[in-house]
Amino acid sequence: MFYREAGQYKSTYAADMAVFPLRQDRIGIAVILAIAFIGIPMIGNDFFIATVMIPFLVFSLAAIGLNILTGYTGLISLGTAAFMGVGAYACYKLTTFFPGVNIIVLILISGLFSAAIGVLFGLPSLRIKGFYLAVATLAAQFFLQWAFVRVPWLFNYNASGAIEVPLRSLFGIPITGASASAETRYFVCLGLVVVLTWFASNLVHGRLGRSWMAVRDMDIAAELMGIKLLNAKLLAFAVSSFYAGVAGAMMIFLWYGGGEAADVFNIRLSFNILFMVIIGGLGSLIGSFFGAAFIASLPTILKFGLPALGVPLSGAAAEHVTFMLVGALIIIFLIVEPHGLARLWQITKQKLRTWPFPY
């Protein structure tokens, strides 16, 4: 009843191929955007925005990137964190060389560097598949992380090997550096995430996305149908790394605000982003958001939320409980719904469609 698409006729091809052909979807998106742009800054305090919302947005973008590679093209990567790092360091070098260029532009450009590196490490994917490829991407993870520490040029020969985030502003409002307020950084993140998600949505629904899915479902068959594997796989690596790179640059410039960067992009982060994609739902953009909320925000909420609910837990014990709870929840979710949170969302939509008279 709430979600009935019957009776919505399309009279042009363009309308039929729209990303959101349904009125309900369009309304839903508008509501979500309204909450994100108006609701959260109004009700959330600084702590909530800085430690829950900004990380959530950054990880969502990274998860979308990995989802393009793993969910849509079927190539597993455990090097996402390293590609994020490439973005962060590229952005740092760029803003050192071109301090006058707007930082948002630089964040986007740094994604291109990450894409180039991604393509380079994506080359083995033409020959290696499955878990073998996953472990091969670990080479990228460890090599790049080593380079972040050992190539002093990358961090401008800083004695402690740390990145410093300078003050950069847009229309006179500081958006990076310590004096940027949490709200400003949140709006910049949100803007980038919304635009890039819209772009990704168009990409995966278009020709390229279809060819990726064909490769995922069976690459030999896709090849026989005339899809060039080389192009499709490397493009997937490029686009995926681009998203990861932008997310990485956002992570350092809009969230962390400088400091020890090399250690941030460690193997754990790569795994976490893979969790987000799998828990959220392979091959689903909305799933990437669910996954990021689950994996990135849940531990934070548990850590700071449980004591507030009156559960008496010391710091260390809370950490242990959080670990156990997250582990157990991962298993429970996989058992209850192996297709991820996105599938739960679909089921919900189905229920809404038939409510109140389910059949």
Partner 1 sequence: MKQTGLMKGAALGALLAAGAAIAPVAAQDSVYFANNAYRTGPFSGSGIPIGDGMRDYIAMINERDGGVNGVKVIYEECETGYDTKKSIECYEQAKSKNTIVYSPWSTGATLAAIPRAHIDKIPILSMAYGLSASAEGSTFPWVFIPPFTYWDGASVMVKHMANELGGMDKLKGKKLGLIHLDAPFGKEPIPVLENLAKKYGFELKLYPVAAADMQNQGSLWLSIRRDRPDYLYNQGWGAMNPTAVKEAIKNGFPINKLVGVWWAGGDDDARAGGAEAKGYKSLNFNAAGTNFPVIQDIIKHVVDKGKSLAPKEKVGENLYNRGVYNSMLVVEAIRNAQKLTGKKVVNAEDMRRGLEGLNITEARLKEIGMEGFGTPSTISCSDHSGHSKMYVAEWDGTKWTKGSDWIEPLKDEVRPLIEAAAKDYAEKNAGWPKRTESCEKSS
Partner 2 sequence: MSEVATRPAPNLLSNGWIKTGLILIGVVLAAIVGAQLDSSGTLHKVLIDPFQQMVSAPDLLVQTVWEGLVSGVLYALIALGFVLIFKASGVFNFAQGIMVVFAALTLVGLHEKGVPAFLAVILTLGVMFLLALTIERVVLRPLVNQPDIILFMATFGITYFLIGFGEAVFGGNPKQMITSELYLPKGAIDAKILGGFVSFQKIDIAAAIIASIMIAALAVFFQYTRIGRALRAVADSHKAALSVGISLNQIWVIVWFTAGIVALITGIMWGARSDVSFALEIVALKALPVLILGGFTSIPGAIVGGLIIGIGEKLGEFYWGPLIGGGIESWLAYFIALGFLLFRPQGLFGDKIIERI
What is the contact surface with partner 2 in residues (CB under 8 A)? 76, 124, 127-132, 135-136, 138-139, 142-143, 145-146, 149-150, 218, 220-221, 224, 267, 271, 275, 278-279, 282, 316-317, 319-331, 334-335, 338
Question: What are 166's two structure tokens?
Answer: 């300078």
How buried is residue 159: exposed, middle or buried, by Cβ count under 10 Å (0-12/13-18/19+)? exposed
Question: What are 269's two structure tokens?
Answer: 């982060």
3-state secondary structure of 169: strand
Question: Based on CB atoms, which residue is closest to partner 1, 201 or 266?
Answer: 266
CA dist 42 → 29, 34, 45, 173, 183 (Å): 19, 11, 8, 19, 10
Query: Which among partner 1, partner 2, none contacts residue 29 (Cβ within 5 to 8 A by kind)?
Result: none
Residues 6+ apart with CB under 8 A from 227: 211, 214, 215
8 Å CB contact between 137 and 77: yes
Q: For residue 257, state whether it binds partner 1 (rule: CB under 8 A).
A: yes
Q: For residue 338, state whether it binds partner 1 (rule: CB under 8 A).
A: no
CB of 357 to partner 1, least distance (A): 16
Q: Which of residues 129-158 bind partner 1 (CB under 8 A)?
A: 142, 146, 149-150, 156, 158
Query: Which among partner 1, partner 2, none contacts residue 127 (Cβ within 5 to 8 A by kind)?
Result: partner 2
Query: Which among partner 2, partner 1, none contacts residue 338 (Cβ within 5 to 8 A by kind)?
Result: partner 2
E strand spans, 38-112? none
Number of residues engaging partner 1 in binding (CB under 8 A): 62
Q: For residue 206, state whether it binds partner 1 (rule: CB under 8 A).
A: no
Which residues are registered as beta bridge partners of 259? Answer: 163
Q: For residue 162, state whether it binds partner 1 (rule: CB under 8 A).
A: yes
Question: Based on CB atoms, which residue is closest to partner 2, 198 or 323?
Answer: 323
